[in-house]
A and B are shown apart, each in its own frame.
Chain A
Amino acid sequence: MSNNTHERAQQLIAQRRIEGVSADEQSWLAAHLVECDLCSAVDAQTGAALSVLRSTQIELPRNLASRTQLRVRLRADELNEREPGRRLLWALVAISWMIGVATAPLVWSGFEWVGNEFGLPKVVLISGMALWWLVPGLLVTGAVVIQKEKTQREAE
C-alpha cells in the first residue's frame, strides 16, 4: 500500500469529522480502514479524542448565574436612570437643528451685513456660517464622548 493511500485515508478521517465526505469517499475509507491497521488506529484515536473533547465537563463557579444576574440588573437600573437624560439631550439636538434650519436665511443675512460692514471676504462669511452650524453638533458630540468615557471608567 502506497504512502499516498494512507495520506488520503488520514485526510478523509479528518475531513469526515470537520466538513463531511461524499458517499464514495466514505465507502473507500471504510474499505481502507478494514485492511489498514495504521489508519484504523488513527481513526480510532481521532474519534476517542473528539469524544472526550465533546464530553469534557467544566465545573461552574458557585452562583455564577445569580451573581451575573445581579450585576446585569444593577447595570440595567443605571442605564434606565440615564435614559431620560439621554432622551432630553437628543431632543435638544433635534430642536437646535430645527431652529438652525429655520433661522438659516436670517443668520446668513446677519453674516452678510457684518461682512459688508467690515469688508470681510466671502470665504470668511462661509466659514462663519459653517461654524454656526457645527458648534451645536460639536457640543453634543463632546457631551456624548464625555458621558461614554465616564461610563467606561465606571465599568472598569
Chain B
Amino acid sequence: MTWAAPFKTGLRFSSLMTDDTKSISRGLKQRDPKLLDLLIEQYQYRLFRYLVHLTGNRERAEDFFQETWVRVLERGAQYDGKWKFEAWLFTIARNLVLDWHRRKKPQSLESLSGPEEETSFDVKDEKSATPLETFLNEEQREGIQFSLTKIPVVYREVLVLRFQEEMQLEEIAGVLSTPISTVKSRLYRGLEALRGAIQGGAA
C-alpha cells in the first residue's frame, strides 16, 4: 500500500504552514528522535481520539496508535511536507486499521464495526466546560455521545474529521482517498444519522 501519495485532490496548504511541514519532512527523513518525540506529544490526543472513533475500542486504538508512529518513523522519508502533517498521519493510521481489518476479514471499512460490537467511548468528565456545554445538561450530552457510537463508522469517521479535527473537505478526501463528492455525501448522511439517533434516543 502506498503511504505517501493519498492526496490526489491537489490540495495545497497555506504558506504559513509550509515552513513547519518542510522542517517536519526534513526531520523525518533524518529520523530525528527529538522531532518524533515532539510530534508524538503534540498529536497524541488527536490521533488517539481519531483511532478510538475509528475502531470503537480503546485497547485497539492504543495498539494502532503505537503502530502508526512506528510507521511514521519507517516511512518518514515519504512525507514531502507538501501536505499537512496531521492529514498524512491520519492516512497512515487509517490504512493500518484497514490493513488489519482486511487481514482479519476481507471487508471494507463500512463493516469495520457495527454498533453491537462497540463499547461506548470512555468520555472524560470535563471540569472546564464551555458555555454551550454548560447550557446543555449532562443527560443530553451523554445521550448524544452514546448516539455517536450507533452511527456507522464511515459516517462517524467523516464527522470526526470534519467537526472535531476541523479538516477541510479536500483534506478529508485526501485522508480517505475518496472523491470530495463522497466525503460530502457521507457528511450529509452522517449528520442526518446523528440527528436521527438523537431523535430516536429522545423518543
Contact = CB atoms under 8 A, between A and B. Distances in A.
B40 A68 contact: yes
Interface string A65-89: 1011101110110011000000000
A125 interface: no
Contact of B123 (A45, A51, A56): A56
Main secondary structure of the interface of B (DSSP, over half): helix
Contacts of B169: 18-19
Interface residues of B, number: 51
A58 interface: yes
Given A58-B124, A59-B124, A52 B141 contact: yes
B144 to A, nearest CB: 4
Interface of A is mostly: helix
A18 to B, nearest CB: 5
Contacts of B7: none
17 contacts: A18-B162, A18-B184, A49-B195, A50-B163, A52-B145, A53-B163, A54-B163, A55-B133, A56-B121, A56-B148, A57-B126, A58-B52, A59-B124, A60-B48, A73-B33, A75-B74, A76-B73
Interface of A: 14, 17-19, 42, 45-46, 48-61, 64-65, 67-69, 71-73, 75-76, 79-80, 155
Interface of B: 31, 33, 36-37, 40-41, 44-45, 48-49, 52, 58, 62, 65-66, 69-70, 72-74, 121-124, 126, 129-130, 132-133, 136, 140-141, 144-145, 147-148, 159-160, 162-164, 169, 184, 187-188, 191-192, 194-195, 198-199
